[in-house]
Amino acid sequence: MFCEKSLKLIKELDRSQEAMPPFDDDGVRQVFEEMRGLYDQNVAAANDTTADPDGTAISGIAIRHAALERNKRCLLAYAYNRILRVRNMRWQFGPILPHDIKANFNEPEVQWFNNYNICVARYFKSIGAHGLDLTADVKPPKSLYVEVRSLTDYGKLELDNGEVVLLKKHSTHLMSRAQCEPLITQGVLEQISN
């Protein structure tokens, strides 16, 4: 059957939901090969219509062409949906991604992420007189300080007031909201509810 390879790419992406599976170079190459084959056969069939007086070759061409279009759609959807996930990651993980996630990007995706990072940073800087971090204060803040618990052995952290605290697993701290919010979103700290 036509387009089985490209369907496999899409299914793989669908299964992984929001996570990032490794870029399937081999799968993509195989789809390109099938497309090349379909194209060559169609060119040959189109040039050969003189030997086809009853005009039935057109049906075969139409079917192969549909398969070409389908493969194209799958490949583009594969690349596009991966980029959407990359973009989403900038907003959820922040400007630096965990290594094991970035390892699954291909080279153009790494490039794209870096460029997007620059774009976002430039935009944040351009808002208002002093810039505005759009990922901060996602929920209306209630207080300037919050109580947090460390979920990992993060190490030393210098606070805004110059004090240095040691973030150990299960240690609790009272920190300025602005400073700990990114650490909470990234799963280093959790806020303790009162």
Partner 1 sequence: MFCHGLISLDGGCQQLCHHRKIMSLCHSYVPNYFSIPDILATQEKVPCTFEVQVKHLGFLDPGSDKRDIEVGTNIELPFWMASVLKTQRPAIADVGLPKIFKESYRDILKADPVVVDLHKLAPYFYEFGMSLCMLNHRESPEIVNVLVESFKQRFRKILDWAQHSNIEVPESKKLDNAEKIIYQAGREVGSSLHLWLTEGGSLIMAAGMVMQHKKMKLTQRDLLQ
Question: Which residue ranges make up the site for partner 1 (CB under 8 A)?
Answer: 1-3, 7, 10-11, 13-14, 17-19, 41, 56-57, 59-60, 62-67, 70, 73-74, 76-77, 80-81, 87-89, 91-93, 98, 100-101, 134-135, 137-144, 146, 177, 180-181, 184-187, 190-191, 193
- Pair of tokens at residue 108: 């153009």
Nearest distance from C-beta of residue 148 to partner 1, angstroms:
9
Nearest distance from C-beta of residue 111 to partner 1, angstroms:
20
55: closest CA among 68, 45, 69? Answer: 45
Nearest distance from C-beta of residue 91 to partner 1, angstroms:
5
Q: Which is nearer to partner 1, 111 or 145 (CB)?
A: 145
Nearest distance from C-beta of residue 92 to partner 1, angstroms:
4
Q: Which is nearer to partner 1, 76 or 159 (CB)?
A: 76
Q: Which is nearer to partner 1, 142 or 156 (CB)?
A: 142
Q: Which is nearer to partner 1, 25 or 100 (CB)?
A: 100
Nearest distance from C-beta of residue 106 to partner 1, angstroms:
18
Q: Which is nearer to partner 1, 139 or 170 (CB)?
A: 139
For the chain, give the secondary structure using H, E and C.
Answer: CCCHHHHHHHHHHHHCCCCCCCCCHHHHHHHHHHHHHHHHHHHHHHHCHHHCCCCCHHHHHHHHHHHHHHHHHHHHHHHHHHHHHHHHHHHHHCCCCCHHHHCCCCHHHHHHHHHHHHHHHHHHHHCCCCCCCCCCCCCCCCCCEEEEEECCCCEEEECCCCCEEEECCCCEEEEEHHHHHHHHHCCCEEECCC
